[in-house]
Amino acid sequence: MLKNCIKFIIHIIWLCVVITFCWPLPVSSSKLRVLVFKLLIICSDNFVISSKTFCLSICISQHPIQSFMYVVNYGSLQRIVDEMVVCFKEARQYERDIFSKYIAKCNVFYGGTLIFVYITGLVFVMGPVALPIDYPLECEYPFRVNYTSIIIFIYFHQSFVCFQCAAHVCLSAFGAFLLWFTAARFECLAMEFQNSSNIDTLIVCIKKQLHLRRYAEQVVNCLRFLVLYAISVGTCALTLCGIIMIVNSPQVVKTQFITISVTMLIQVYMFAWPADYMKEWSINVSRSVYDGKWYKQSLKLQKMFLNVMLYQKPITLSISCLLEELSLRYYCSYVSNAFSIFTALRVVVENKSE
């Protein structure tokens, strides 16, 4: 049951991000197939299609920037995903129970988010139906477009761009899935530490901990600049949304920008929530030995348990000098600062109007 559920989750996430070409191929893929796949990533960029509004330009800029980041980290992501799939296949019963617990915790939020993101793209695709515009995006072309075939082609092309923007936002779900998986593995390892009853099993657990910490650091290295980019894009989008809400603009335009802003806030939260859990469980692994029956073990084993407890360095998603630590606390301050920017812009506009 769990195996089918995890396969379904992986398939849904893959389906949501497939048109970004950023989900890595299996490790067993040939070099030629990998080369063609990387060329598809680069060729899928739509940065040349710029919008008159800066906010839409920011959304479109996700294509080349995120694609470049995934090309750079392609090898690491390929190994990370391959190890994740193998871990799910070989999971024992207690590990399956923990994975099921995490799925129950996250399925509603992330499932609803993926649907909401694509609805956001659909709002822009259906824009010509509700607004006096011909295309979803306001673009000018250096050739005549008053032919039915060209109008249809441009409409479908711009619609694909809108959905590709949504797919790039869904890459946050892909990154969050890797963080949740890492946190769940730390919790599984914590149970193994609690059940350690001799030196041999403890040594095995310590080796697993070192391997898992290296795995977590690989995940963080692949995601840290994507998170920084998501935060930067979200800040710009929220600022522009604040301006749109203050000045006189059509209600439909305000609705579109509110939808974009909510999407950006959700995108950052999708990373912050699992990153906070991963940090917590990377520390709890060492602390978990205290929850076991260490008092019934030999003095030598108790001393080794004590050494394990002393090592409590957390794994955090951070960038030197740019992002101290991504956590729920940071996300709360991020949202608070966004509302502060809204308030400051409103004061400036009102003072100018007076």
Q: Average pLDDT of each block of 10 consecutive residues along the chain (354 residues)?
A: 77 76 76 68 44 58 75 86 88 88 89 85 78 69 73 81 80 88 89 76 80 90 86 78 69 70 83 90 73 60 65 79 83 83 68 55
pLDDT at residue number 138 = 67
Alpha carbon distance 239, 312 (integer Å):
39
Residue 52 is predicted with a pLDDT of 43
Cα 238–Cα 244–Cα 247 angle in degrees, nearest 5: 140
Euclidean distance between CA atoms 135 and 125, whole angstroms: 8
The pLDDT assigned to 55 comes to 59
User: Residue 323: phi, psi to the nearest 5?
Assistant: -140, 110
* Residue range(s) defining the domain that contains residue 22: 2-353
Q: Could you count the other beta carbons within 10 Å of the beta carbon of residue 333? A: 11
pLDDT tens digits, residue range 200-241? 777 787 888 888 889 999 999 888 888 888 888 777 777 777
CB-CB contact of 163 with 19 (8 Å): yes
Taking the mean position of all CA atoms in its chain, how far away is CA 69? Answer: 13
* pTM for the whole structure: 0.77
Number of domains in the chain: 1
**Cα separation, 318 vs 221, whole angstroms:** 9
| HEC per residue, 169-191 | HHHHHHHHHHHHHHHHHHHHHHH
Per-residue confidence (pLDDT) for residue 179, from 0 to 100: 92
- Decide if 236 contacts 60 (C-beta within 8 A): no
Q: How far apart are CA 107 and CA 114, in angstroms?
A: 10
Q: Give the integer Cα–Cα distance in Å for 26 and 221.
A: 20
CA distance 23 to 84: 13
pLDDT at 56: 64
pLDDT at 274: 92
Q: What does the angle CA 313 – CA 314 – CA 316 come to, to the nearest 5 degrees?
A: 140
CA distance 247 to 232: 23
